[in-house]
């Protein structure tokens, strides 16, 4: 039996005085191959589900015969260390602001440019994220550079084992915020790319992790890295939504009234916000009709934080 060919690479980013910052890349398969897929994980340091999914996927993956799979398991090692979303020291979101401006300052510039340079060597890029609040897992799909890429990403979104697909229009007002994200910059360079948002690890069971891992293994087969028996390649028809997000207009303790997957109408109460000083609760009224795909847990939320996402059918 042939063994999976795995090698590790360390890419130096910056000297931080007593320690050095580097990016670890794991290569699976043939580094000289034509067909190359890059998985990038943990751009946001506090997003952990992808690690568990990747660990299982690597264990169960067939031998990569027809290409190269490279995995950046943590694109934000300093954020991971600090258990925070942003990159410490520069205190920036590593998934915004691509490409960095000339003369922009900080370690983040080198890190972002290195990620862009790595990404430029691949045909397909899968960027793994994790929602922070209880959520349905999702594939985020934007329009691609070619019909071939559109077809591939459409297939990937249905094989990944996630619960919903969000079609995102990054030029519209709802999603404009994320237009400078890493994956979308890669698409602008002609790559096929999609973003996966898993549910937070504390709300994800072991069997869901397995489902995500098997989905990733299927998706990589669709990318052509190896062949899988036809039965395991089934595409699942899953709901496709545009997302509508609702932010908190006050600070307080959230008390959810609706659950994930529940259908809601515009005007319905989604939950309450308990005022810290008076202990009075005010309702959070849905501005949209659709399916609850993300809803805050019982926690303290600050003015302006996202509380609920409603999936609106297209
Ligand atoms: Zn993220």
What is the tens place of the pLDDT at every residue in 264-292? 999 999 999 999 999 999 999 999 999 99
For residue 246, the model assigns a pLDDT of: 96
C-alpha of residue 128 to centroid of ligand 1, in Å: 7
For the segment 11-40, the average pLDDT, to the nearest whole number, is 95
**How many angstroms separate the alpha carbon of residue 1 from the centre of ligand 1?**
38
CATH class of 6-238: alpha beta
pLDDT of residue 82: 97
What digits encode the pLDDT tens for the residues 208-249?
A: 999 999 999 999 999 999 999 876 766 778 999 999 999 999
174 pLDDT band (50/70/90 cuts)?
A: confident
Dihedral pair phi/psi, residue 16, rounded to 5°: -110, 35
Query: What's the CA-to-centroid distance between 220 and ligand 1, angstroms?
Result: 21
CA-based end-to-end distance of the chain: 48
pLDDT the model gives residue 233: 65
- The CATH topology of domain 241-313 is OB fold (Dihydrolipoamide Acetyltransferase, E2P) (2.40.50)
Q: Are 245 and 295 in contact (CB under 8 A)?
A: no
Kindly indicate the confidence band of residue 169, based on its pLDDT and cuts at 50, 70 and 90: confident
pLDDT tens figures, 111-133? 999 999 999 999 999 999 999 99
Residue 157 has pLDDT above 90, yes or no: yes
Average pLDDT score over residue span 32-58: 97
pLDDT for 314: 76
Residue 97 CA to ligand 1 center (angstroms) comes to: 14
6-238 and 241-313 have identical folds: no
Cα of 131 vs centre of ligand 1, distance in Å, is 7
pLDDT reported for residue 170: 79
Alpha carbon of 287 to ligand 1 centroid (Å): 25
CA of 212 to the centre of ligand 1 (A): 17
Residue ranges of domains in the chain? 6-238, 241-313
Query: Percent of the chain, pLDDT > 70?
Result: 98
Ligand 1 centroid from CA 84, angstroms:
11
Confidence (pTM) = 0.94
Residue 227 CA to ligand 1 centre (angstroms)? 30
What is the whole-number distance in angstroms between the Cα of residue 130 and the centre of ligand 1? 6
C-alpha 72 – ligand 1 centre gap (Å)? 14
Ligand 1 mean position, distance from CA 202 (Å): 16
C-alpha 105 – ligand 1 centre gap (Å): 22
């Amino acid at each position: 039996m042939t063994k999976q060919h795995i090698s590790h690479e360390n890419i130096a980013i910056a000297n931080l005085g007593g320690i050095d910052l580097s990016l670890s890349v794991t290569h699976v398969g043939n580094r000289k191959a034509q067909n190359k897929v890059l998985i990038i994980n943990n751009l946001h340091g506090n997003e952990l589900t992808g690690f568990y999914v990747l660990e299982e996927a690597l264990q169960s993956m067939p031998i990569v015969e027809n290409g190269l799979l490279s995995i950046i398991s943590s694109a934000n090692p300093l954020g991971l260390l600090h258990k925070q979303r942003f990159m410490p020291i520069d205190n920036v979101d590593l998934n915004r602001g691509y490409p960095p401006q000339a003369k922009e300052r900080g370690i983040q510039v080198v890190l972002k440019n290195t990620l862009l340079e790595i990404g430029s060597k691949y045909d397909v890029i899968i960027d793994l994220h994790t929602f922070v609040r209880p959520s349905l897992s999702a594939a985020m799909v934007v329009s691609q550079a070619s019909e071939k890429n559109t077809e591939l990403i459409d297939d990937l979104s249905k094989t990944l084992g996630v619960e919903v697909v969000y079609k995102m229009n990054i030029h519209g007002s709802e999603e404009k915020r994320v237009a400078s994200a890493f994956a979308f910059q890669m698409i602008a360079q002609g790559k096929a790319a999609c973003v996966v948002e898993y549910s937070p690890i504390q709300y994800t069971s072991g069997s869901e992790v397995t489902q995500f891992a098997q989905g990733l293994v299927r998706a990589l087969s669709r990318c052509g890295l190896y062949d899988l028996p036809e039965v395991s390649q089934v595409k699942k028809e899953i709901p496709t939504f545009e997302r509508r997000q609702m932010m908190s207009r006050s600070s307080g303790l959230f008390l959810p009234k609706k659950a994930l997957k529940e259908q809601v109408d515009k005007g319905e109460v989604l939950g309450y916000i308990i005022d810290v000083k008076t202990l009075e609760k005010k309702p959070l009224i849905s501005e949209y009709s659709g399916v609850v795909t993300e809803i805050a847990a019982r926690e303290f939320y600050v003015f302006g934080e996202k509380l609920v996402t409603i999936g609106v059918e297209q």
